[in-house]
């Protein structure tokens, strides 16, 4: 695409030159009061033709710029994905080779250490695969939603228990404040679980030290509002409008170990809207973030 830029610039200059020539000739004819049969028609047709070409050039340029941007995004995504898989695979291979050492069993603490490395890297690969599967699901979203009665509190309690296991070694805390009197919604349990799992996972990843996360629920206007609040690095004001875009990753500054493809929040927004809900964000840089998901209650759906 970049090879087309120079020819397009040449065409643009040629069009501008033609317009100037026609404008000059038209000015001469008007000043000298010269006219001949069909001169106005020829000038009008030529001008219209050049304008059409100009608009075509502008449209083609905009299209090429957009395609080039999409190509860069896809290239970054593939490079990032390759790195995300190569690193844990290499780590698992090294740990596995160490466990095959005949003398390793004389050092039980090393066996435990390498086994934990394999488990952690396996979980990392699984998380990456789930994100890619989420991207695939988004492309076929309509056929993937299976609606049933779902308890949001049940999902949140299970997720809190799961994440507490992973952040226990960091002395992290997950506090549940489930104050909603009604928590039943009609939706796809798998996708609803993924929505909250993505948000909790982000709250953990973007915490600077010991994760401290509050998961709260309340009822508002026939909906259940679930907020996930952290005390992490927060999101700059200028980046907040982009966090729900596909493949967009928030700058992490000095926190270099935050991994991901920029899919999670895009998936969360799409799936929340697919359940007739909405998501909001409140964040202050270096102070933390609060994501709130609003979903219509089952009774409100029935009444609606």
Give the pLDDT score at 302: 47
Phi and psi (nearest 5°) for 82? -60, -45
Q: What is the pLDDT of residue 254?
A: 43
Distance of alpha carbon 288 from alpha carbon 296, whole angstroms: 27
What does the pLDDT read at residue 227? 97
What confidence score (pLDDT) does residue 20 get?
57
Say if pTM beats, i.e. exceeds, 0.75. no
Checking 239-248 for CB contacts under 8 A at 24+ apart, the result is 240/281, 240/283, 243/281, 244/268, 244/269, 244/279, 247/73, 247/76, 247/77
Positions of the chain with pLDDT under 50: 1-2, 29, 32, 34-38, 143, 254-256, 302-304
Residue 149 has what pLDDT? Answer: 96
What pLDDT does 36 receive? 46
Nearest CA among 212, 216, 226 for reference residue 288 = 212
Other residues' Cβ atoms within 10 Å of the Cβ of residue 46: 16
Question: What pLDDT, on a 0 to 100 scale, did the predictor assign at position 237?
Answer: 81
* CA distance linking residue 247 with residue 262, whole number of Å: 4
Residue 157's pLDDT is: 95
Per-residue model confidence (pLDDT) at position 117: 82
Read off the DSSP letter of residue 206. T
């Amino acid at each position: 695409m970049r090879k087309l830029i120079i020819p397009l610039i040449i065409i643009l200059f040629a069009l501008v030159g033609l317009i100037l020539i026609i404008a000059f000739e038209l000015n001469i004819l008007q000043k000298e009061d010269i006219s001949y049969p069909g001169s106005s028609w020829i000038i009008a047709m030529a001008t219209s033709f050049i304008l059409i070409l100009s608009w075509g050039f502008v449209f083609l340029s905009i299209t090429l710029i957009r395609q080039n941007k999409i190509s860069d995004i896809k290239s970054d995504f593939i490079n990032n994905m390759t790195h995300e898989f190569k690193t844990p695979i290499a780590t698992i291979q090294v740990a596995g080779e160490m466990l095959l050492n005949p003398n390793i069993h004389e050092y039980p603490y090393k066996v435990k250490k390498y086994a934990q490395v394999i488990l952690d890297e396996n979980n990392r690969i699984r998380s990456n695969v789930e994100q890619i599967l989420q991207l695939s699901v988004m492309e076929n979203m309509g056929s993937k939603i299976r609606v049933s009665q779902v308890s949001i509190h049940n999902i949140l309690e299970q997720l809190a228990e799961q994440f507490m296991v992973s952040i226990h070694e960091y002395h992290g805390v997950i506090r549940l404040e489930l104050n909603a009197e009604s928590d039943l919604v009609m939706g796809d349990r798998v996708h609803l679980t993924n929505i909250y799992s993505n948000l909790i996972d982000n709250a953990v990843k973007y915490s600077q030290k010991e994760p401290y996360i509050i998961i709260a629920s309340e009822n508002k206007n026939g909906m259940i509002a679930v907020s996930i609040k952290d005390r992490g690095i927060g999101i700059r004001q200028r980046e907040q409008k982009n966090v729900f875009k596909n493949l967009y990753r928030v700058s992490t500054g000095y926190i270099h170990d935050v991994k991901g493809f920029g899919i999670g929040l895009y998936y969360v927004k799409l799936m929340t809207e697919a359940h007739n809900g909405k998501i909001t964000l409140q964040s202050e840089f270096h102070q933390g973030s609060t994501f709130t998901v609003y979903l219509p209650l089952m009774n409100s759906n029935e009444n609606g």
